[in-house]
Amino acid sequence: MSIAKNFMTTYQKVATHDGEAEPIQIWAKDSDSYGGIGTDKLGIWGSVVAMDFDICVADGACVEACPVDVFEWIDTPKHPASDKKAIMAREPDCIVCRACEEVCPVDAILITDPGDIDSDTSSETVAEEDTAEAPAEQPAVQQVGASSPQMPLTPVMQPKPHSYDGYKQNSYCIKCGKYTFHWHGASPNNPDLYPDYECKDCGHVRKIKIA
């Protein structure tokens, strides 16, 4: 058994959990498939860094493999697979290296490039705007989201003000919300910066944990 690859289109957002910088989305097949911490129904946590907590065995391989310290442990008593899980507390820091995905022994992790999530969200927004402009006497045009119940979007899933340019090692700057480039070896403004990250827009420096 492995994490559902299409969970963001087939599952519902049923709850959120506090992350360090932004809420962690929680997904489940339906409201009956999620019971919360302390039950045997935890669903899938995260979006960019998604983990199926119902099959996670908490071996810790993902925690050790992550080069930017995205994960931290949380207790999940009474869950049959394991009584603790590694939550993506710093999910915006993910650099999409997929190291955690590759080492997971039960295929419980799925990494999705944030640019791909942005594209899907933007497409839905455009479709909704087109529907809103349709004449009232043509209700048949309003088909967006009719196939399944839709949960309200939280701020983390709202369309972001920038456009994705295709560079796969980007991540969001936690200060200004823009994509941040990692200059390997040096930064244009600070040659001694490596291996930390510096935002090319606002200059914010994010410290990178070195094992």
The strand pairing partners of 16, in sequence order, are: 25
Structural domains of the chain sorted by starting position, each given as residue range(s) with its CATH number in brackets: 7-111 (3.30.70.20), 167-211 (no CATH)
| Token pair of 116 as six digits | 């791909």
131, with CB counted inside 10 A (0-12, 13-18, 19+), is: middle
* Chain segment 110-119, per-residue pLDDT in tens: 999 988 886 5
CB 130 within 8 Å of CB 26: no
Q: Residue 164's Cα: distance from chain center in Å?
A: 16
* Chain segment 77-126, per-residue pLDDT in tens: 999 999 999 999 999 999 999 999 999 999 999 999 988 886 544 444 44
CA distances from 6 to 44, 67, 99, 127, 138 (A): 11, 26, 20, 20, 32
97, with CB counted inside 10 A (0-12, 13-18, 19+), is: middle
In the structure, what pLDDT confidence band is assigned to residue 156 with cuts at 50, 70 and 90? very low
Within 10 angstroms of residue 46's Cβ, the number of other Cβ atoms is 24
Total-model pTM: 0.58
Average pLDDT of the chain is: 76
Helix, strand and coil in the chain, % to nearest 5: 20, 15, 60
